[in-house]
Chains A and B, each alone.
Chain A
Amino acid sequence: MKISFSINGQKKSVETDGDTPLLWVIRDMLDLKGTKFGCGKAACGACTVHVDGESIRSCSFAAKWAEGREITTIEGLGTAEDPHPVQQAWIEEIVPQCGYCQPGFMMATAALLDKVPSPTDEDIDNNIINVCRCGTYYRMRKAIHRAAEIKKSNTNT
């Protein structure tokens, strides 16, 4: 079936089985490799992207549900010249170790800050449930608080 949507601000159409996971449309058909395959069971969060601003696990999101919707991947969050506050905070706090899971964490964090601009540790625990095998959680927590500060500062200026 033909599925049309917007991804990172660009209109795209793909021809695929409607039950194909959105993850494979993003990675294999659109060649956007920032979104990662982790568990394939919506458990680890490495494949997290935004659909209409909401966090979803793209490994468990059938492509047919993307019809007419706006998708954002890590490539669309910010640019090297103008990084998203979450990306900026991740750089400042030197969060990644191997880095594989980090795009999913950053997408989940960006969605959290849209809903909860100044998250508490409890908010972070409840919302950021992705898995990092390197154990970078401690640095991520600091980066999430830092990202909230940067975003607030950007809003005020």
Chain B
Amino acid sequence: MKYLFILLFACSAIVVAFNLQNDPVVETIPAVTASITTAASEDNTAFDTMMKVLMHKRCVNCHPSDAYPRQGEDSHIHRFGIERGKANHGAEATTCNTCHQADNNNQSGVPGAPEWSLAPLSMAWQGLSRTEIARSMLDRKRNGNRSIKEIEHHLTEHELVLWAWEPGVDNEGNPREKPPVSKEDYIAAVKKWVEEGAHIPDE
């Protein structure tokens, strides 16, 4: 009997240790506050997948937090002194479309897509964390008064956004880096995130 008790105790310890290693909050602290329990028990895979794309330079280069578009894999300030301009479309007579057209030009290396322009300053993402970006996307005061379905449409169907997976080549003929998630997986993740209530997890 004594040995049986020791054996049972040892097995329990192994089970507890296993749980501590794999799912500590949900399994070992069931009575903690609701918010913590919710955050730990949620599956944030869709959010994580979506944000891997939205944090990528192909997106953030055109969501700067200042007056200058970024370009390149190192997100340097746009060459030639190009600035945001009053309408987020460059200077009056030297606009984005002076060089950027509706598709990539793989001879010159100038990228292009329909409606090529900067995101307005209210939609600046540069320097923000992924949850700050998500909060700004859902804030109608900052997102152009878009509903969540309109945000979903922008993220999954706008050709300018989807250009990230067809970024063409740079001015030396080298392919531009694509986001780390396939377009199909990204679109599925955005739709799932919206469908599940567009929850923004803790940092």
Contacts of B3 in A (CB 8 A): none
Contacts of B99 in A (CB 8 A): 42, 56-57, 60
* Further 10 A-B residue pairs, CB within 8 A, beyond A41-B108, A56-B97: A42-B105, A42-B108, A48-B98, A54-B93, A54-B97, A56-B99, A61-B105, A116-B93, A127-B93, A129-B94
Give bound CA distance, A19 to B110, whole Å. Answer: 13
List chain B residues, Cβ under 8 A from A128.
94
Determine if A129 and B80 form an interchain contact, defined as CB atoms under 8 angstroms apart: yes
A112 interfacial contact with B, CB 8 Å: yes
Q: Is B101 an interface residue (CB 8 A)?
A: yes
Docked pose: A111 CA to B105 CA in angstroms: 23
Q: Which residue of A lies closest to B98 (CB)?
A: A55
**Which B residues between 89 and 146 are near A, CB-CB below 8 angstroms?**
91-95, 97-99, 101-103, 105, 107-110
- CA separation between A128 and B92, bound complex, in Å? 10
Any chain A CB within 8 A of the CB of B41?
A: no
Which residues in A have their C-beta under 8 angstroms from that of B92?
A: 112, 115-116, 123, 126-127
Whether a CB of chain B sits under 8 angstroms from the CB of A59 is yes
Please give the number of chain B residues whose Cβ is less than 8 angstroms from any Cβ of chain A in the complex. 23
Complex: A21 Cα to B107 Cα, angstroms:
9
User: Smallest distance from the beta carbon of A54 to chain B beta carbons, Å?
Assistant: 7
CA distance A112 to B90 in the complex (A): 13
Instruction: Check A60 against B82 for contact (C-beta < 8 Å).
Output: no
**A residues apposed to B, CB below 8 Å:** 19, 21, 40-43, 48, 54-57, 59-62, 65, 108, 111-112, 114-116, 123, 125-129
B91 in contact with A61 (CB, 8 Å): no
Number of A-B contacts (CB under 8 A): 76
The one of B95, B105, B110, B171 that contacts A54, using a Cβ cutoff of 8 Å: B95
**Which residues of the partner chain B approach A62 to less than 8 Å between Cβ atoms?**
101, 103, 105
In the complex, the chain B residue whose C-beta lies closest to that of A129 is B80
Min CB gap B80→A, angstroms = 5
Please, which residues of chain A bring their CB within 8 A of the CB of B80? Answer: 43, 129
Q: A40–B107 contact, CB under 8 A?
A: yes
| B156 CB, min distance to chain A CBs, angstroms | 27
When distances are taken between beta carbons in the complex, the residues of chain B under 8 Å from A116 are 92-93
Q: Does B81 contact A (CB under 8 A)?
A: yes
Residues of chain B with a CB closer than 8 A to A19's CB: 107
B110 near A115 with CB under 8 A, answer: no
Q: Judge whether A41 and B110 touch: CB under 8 Å.
A: yes
Q: Is B2 an interface residue (CB 8 A)?
A: no
The CA of A59 and the CA of B110, in the complex, are separated in Å by 10
Contact call A60/B107, Cβ cutoff below 8 A: yes
Which chain A positions have C-beta within 8 A of B93? Answer: 54-55, 108, 111-112, 114-116, 127
Q: Which residues of A contact B103 (CB under 8 A)?
A: 62
5 contacts between A and B (CB under 8 A): A54-B93, A62-B101, A62-B103, A65-B101, A116-B92
Taking a contact as CB atoms under 8 Å apart, the answer to whether A60 and B108 are in contact is yes
User: CB-nearest residue of chain A relative to B94?
Assistant: A127
| Residue of chain A at shortest CB distance from B85 | A126
Whether B94 and A55, one on each chain, are in contact in the complex, defined by CB atoms closer than 8 angstroms, is yes
Quick one: closest B residue to A20, CB to CB? B107
Chain A residues with CB under 8 Å of B98's CB are 42, 48, 54-57
**Bound-state Cα–Cα, A21 to B94, Å:** 19
